[in-house]
Amino acid sequence: MDPALGDLACGDVLVRNGRIAAVGENLDPAGAEIVDATNCIVLPGFVDGHRHVWQTQLRGVATDWTIVDYMVHMRTLYCVCYEPEDAYLGNYVGGLEALAAGVTSVVDHSHLQISPEYSDALASGLLDSGVGGVFCYGFYNNPPYRPGDSIDVASIRNRVFAPVEEWHVPNAKRIRDRYFTAAGALRFGIAASEVFMIPFDLAAKELNAAWSLEPALVTAHWACTARADRTPTMIPELHRAGHLHRNMLFTHCNNFSRADFQIVAALGAGVCATPDTELGMGMGFPVQEKMLAAHGSVAFGADICSNVAGDLFGQMRLALQSQRWRGFEASEQLPTSMPITARRYLEIATRIGAEALGMADEIGTLTPGKRADVILVRTDSISTSPSNDPVGTLMFYANASDVDTVLVAGEFRKRNGSLVGVNWPEVRERLVRSRDQIMDRLARIPFAKVREVWHDALTG
């Protein structure tokens, strides 16, 4: 995926001390361990720009949800049904799921920060999985009740939509200093609250608090829950006031104007599109082409584990084919050329995605000197064989089960089709037990009362 190096029909990648030392044909391994990549495509690990990893236990609960359903259920019901051990397990297994699918870097938009104990569990769970990327501590005020408590809608709404509670900043600093002091594959970031939905002064104050923590990345949802004429993005105002910076990742952005994209691109910041949830839950059409047209960088994200699988194969395909159709739709004739190539969207999942995260110097291509985030995808399975074009194989035929080997910073995380050092039957048993306990707690919450908190705010 490095344009300067090009593609090799057959070649070698030499890894030394967690870095790519050389790429070429017939390299001298000089005593290195040999990994046989026969019948495999070797490429950089995928980059996921937006995922709520903690929701791993909730796979499938959001199958038929709209974005309003998601905000009502997930943000006021399911979130309070987690205990710290559930938070740890969700992030641990969610990180493993990413690795199993060839995702070596993920931006975890971690908005389950209920208390310091939860923060420790979330950070340590993702770290223990071995996945790289950015753990983004969520500046969110979660609901102030537990399953079985009496419900006061007014007090819940006042807290959820209030400015970020003061304990978050020192707690986030504690998490940063305890878990992310070394220059590891997983870095510390901040996930801002729904800043596009709050008054300008509060948004500015929250962003200033985020920058005070010197994060590697600040991410947030933007302009994804209503039409542009109802929800101004505040991008020009925040930019003029100096609150937006290069190391930012703007997620969704379905209602951004052309000027908004141009501002973000000029900053050198990135955008993340999550095709499955944006198309399927009513947020809007994915914006990858709008950001590229502004000469900016964009990533793909799986978004919510409660709704879609944690791989990027599906996101690439859905984004590409829906965008192709949008380009064809206005024509009255059958197309005679393909305006968007499959390789372009494979680049978004690797090289361009790394640029969007501000990590292009480290990941995204198999370039000597970069971190050795390398994956091998098999071309001899029943779905990928025979492989006549590597890009076509990756974009339209391969899936997570075809990912044979995954290295993060030169460390094997998956090998010969299996996660390294993971007793999956035992982990799965813990995961199912955690799910059962979450559902038991959920049954103790009066849904009709809690529904009012987000539903009225989003649809009124």
- Check whether the bond before 390 is cis (ω within 30° of 0): no
Orientation of helix 447-459 relative to helix 153-160, angle to 10°: 50
What is the 8-class DSSP label of residue 342? H
For residue 406, what are the β-bridge partners? Answer: 375, 414
Dihedral (C-alpha) 382, 129, 301, 213: value to the nearest 10 degrees? Answer: -170
How high is the pLDDT of residue 223?
Answer: 85
What are the distances in angstroms from CA 123 to CA 2, 116, 127, 144, 158?
A: 32, 11, 6, 22, 28
* pTM (two decimals): 0.95
Kindly report, residue by residue over 376-426, the tens digit of the pLDDT: 999 999 999 999 999 999 999 999 999 999 999 999 999 999 999 999 999
The first and second tokens of residue 367, run together, are 């370039």
Nearest-angstrom CA–CA distance, 140 and 162: 9
Nearest-angstrom CA–CA distance, 26 and 9: 12
Helices (H), 101-152: 116-129
Kindly report, residue by residue over 150-203, the tens digit of the pLDDT: 877 777 777 766 788 899 999 999 999 999 977 899 999 999 998 888 889 999
The identity of residue 333, as a single letter, is Q
Render 253-318 in DSSP notation, one character per residue. Answer: -TT--HHHHHHHHHHT-EEEE-HHHHHHTTS----HHHHHHTT-EEEE--EETTTS-S-SHHHHHH
How high is the pLDDT of residue 335?
Answer: 87
**Residues near 428 by Cβ (< 8 Å), separated by ≥ 6?**
none
What are the distances in angstroms from CA 70 to CA 64, 327, 386, 440?
A: 10, 30, 41, 19
Domains of the chain: 43-429+431-441 (3.20.20.140)
Nearest-angstrom CA–CA distance, 441 and 428: 20
How high is the pLDDT of residue 336?
Answer: 86
Pairing state of beta strands 403-408 and 374-378?
antiparallel
Q: What is the pLDDT along the chain (460 residues), one digit of tens a residue?
A: 999 999 999 999 999 999 999 999 999 888 999 999 999 999 999 999 999 999 999 999 999 998 888 988 898 899 999 999 999 999 999 999 999 999 999 999 999 999 999 999 999 999 999 999 999 999 998 888 889 888 777 777 777 667 888 999 999 999 999 999 778 999 999 999 988 888 899 999 999 999 999 999 999 999 876 554 555 689 999 999 999 999 999 999 999 999 999 999 999 999 999 999 999 998 999 999 999 999 999 999 999 999 999 999 999 999 999 999 998 888 878 888 898 999 999 999 999 999 999 999 999 999 999 999 999 999 999 999 999 999 999 999 999 999 999 999 999 999 999 999 999 999 999 999 999 999 999 999 887 777 776 666 666 5
Nearest-angstrom CA–CA distance, 380 and 38: 9
Classified as helix, coil or strand, 198 is coil
Nearest-angstrom CA–CA distance, 246 and 218: 9
Backbone angles phi, psi at 370, to 5 degrees: -80, 165
Nearest-angstrom CA–CA distance, 112 and 123: 11
